[in-house]
Amino acid sequence: MASAPTAPPPPANLKRIVAASLIGTTIEWYDFFLYGSAAALVFNKLFFPDSDPLVGTLLSFLTYAVGFAARPIGALVFGHYGDRLGRKKLLVLSLLLMGGATFAIGLLPTHATIGSAAPVLLTVLRLVQGFALGGEWGGAVLLVSEHGDARRRGFWASWPQTGAPAGQLLATGVLSLLTAVLSESAFGSWGWRIPFLLSGVLVIVGLWIRLSVDESPVFKQALAQAEARKSTRAAEADAVAEKLPLVSVMRHHWRDVLVAMGARMAENISYYVITAFILVYATTSAGVSKQTALNAVLIASAVHFAVIPGWGALSDRIGRRPVYLLGAAGVGLWMFPFFSLIDTGGFGNLLLAVTVGLVLHGAMYAPQAAFFSEMFATRMRYSGASIGAQFASVAAGAPAPLIATALLDAYGSSTPIALYVISAAILTLIAVGVAKETRHRDLADVERSAGAEPTAARPADAHTV
């Protein structure tokens, strides 16, 4: 028994849904990236003052990496309940958790006040941030993917992805402004707290917008179908899948999970090397001031924001895989020129290095939302997309600044760091290269086919718009 397909929402409603997802992801990423920038700039002195400067930076990035470790847990918990209860409820919860943790960091006493308890509390709050972000991404992109026009899904689903550069832009912009108007001592004493406390205001705005949107029509349809199957005493395997989406994901979609994880390697590692580690490398190895490095990331993030919808629209025309492969290959090829430009110490070359790197990154990041959404059936889509994306972040984004900083400390050269990113690009090229194209899959058709047989076993052409 299947309910009639739900008509696409009118454009005004779709735009409101996109806005709700975008404002939420922007706030979530603002909070997450703010920590990364602060870790590179001040946390080493405030929370690890007894360490050598570079060792202090490593310890600071270690607390940064802890947030990534919590993201898979958030993906499992939010994915499970998001597939059972709906996308909207879990997105509201993730926003509250992230905003609350970030606001609390702004009130946190430093090592000078409470000693070793300060980095412990910082780590706990970072865990909460990671847990919340692990559940945010999947729900935000699915809410748009499942509402939107299938012919332009890549374009519409790429807008929540712009929340990452928007959050980076906002976080870097606030920090850049504060470092420009405050003395170094004032910023280190109290100025660094201001961006974290601003998160409280942003969360209120985000909640107001996010609470105004409707639940995904595709999810409502799938939920109705699930209830119908229960009423007719469906097979025991279907009942288990309804109770534990994770079980069904690992049984029917394990190949898709591996593809998603591989696809994230170059995307995740390159992003954190370009935006977080760059603040360390440019200031310590290239002799660039903190303000100059922040300004370069700020301008490049604005360009990144602008190009992502264009890459998403291109994926609607030529496919998710070609655009993704272009980005992975481009990032790998750009790494040696990237560091060579930074080594010159000039602002123009630094800006060019970061901007081109982020434009190429956008070719991977833009189609990712639609690509991952189209891999999984509706009643396991939140779990599948979240698991694939967030489990990869533990091996990719989490240690990237740590590994890059350690390589710089050990070899005093950018060459091992460039090779590290190139290796990740090769892994992504292999993963996406063996994947099936998903552009022509209809999300409702994926749901109907999943009840009959594992989606991974069906040919890609079986799913048409």
232 compared with 273, residue with greater pLDDT? 273
pLDDT digits (tens, 9 = 90+) for 82-116: 777 777 788 888 888 888 888 998 999 988 888 88
Decide if 42 contacts 179 (C-beta within 8 A).
no
Give the model's pLDDT for residue 178. 87
- The answer for residues whose C-beta is within 8 angstroms of residue 81's C-beta and 6 or more apart is 89, 90
Say if residues 285 and 415 touch (Cβ distance below 8 Å): no
Q: What integer is the mean pLDDT of 276-287?
A: 87
In Å, what is the CA distance from 159 to each residue of 92, 154, 164, 306?
18, 9, 10, 10
The reported pLDDT for the residue numbered 84 is 76
**80 pLDDT tier (thresholds 50, 70, 90):** confident
Tokens of residue 94, six digits: 């993730």
pLDDT at 464: 31
State the average pLDDT for the chain: 81
Between 329 and 94, the more confident residue is 329
268 — pLDDT class (breaks 50, 70, 90): very high
CA angle 267, 269, 270 (to 5 degrees): 70
According to the per-residue pLDDT averaged within each range, which of 15-24, 77-86, 345-354 is highest? 345-354
pLDDT higher than 90, residue 302: yes
Does the structure show a pLDDT above 80 at 28?
no
What is residue 254's predicted lDDT score, i.e. its pLDDT? Answer: 83
pLDDT confidence of residue 356: 98
Confidence class of residue 5 from pLDDT cuts 50, 70 and 90?
very low
Q: Which of 28-42, 48-62, 105-119 reaches the highest mean pLDDT?
A: 105-119
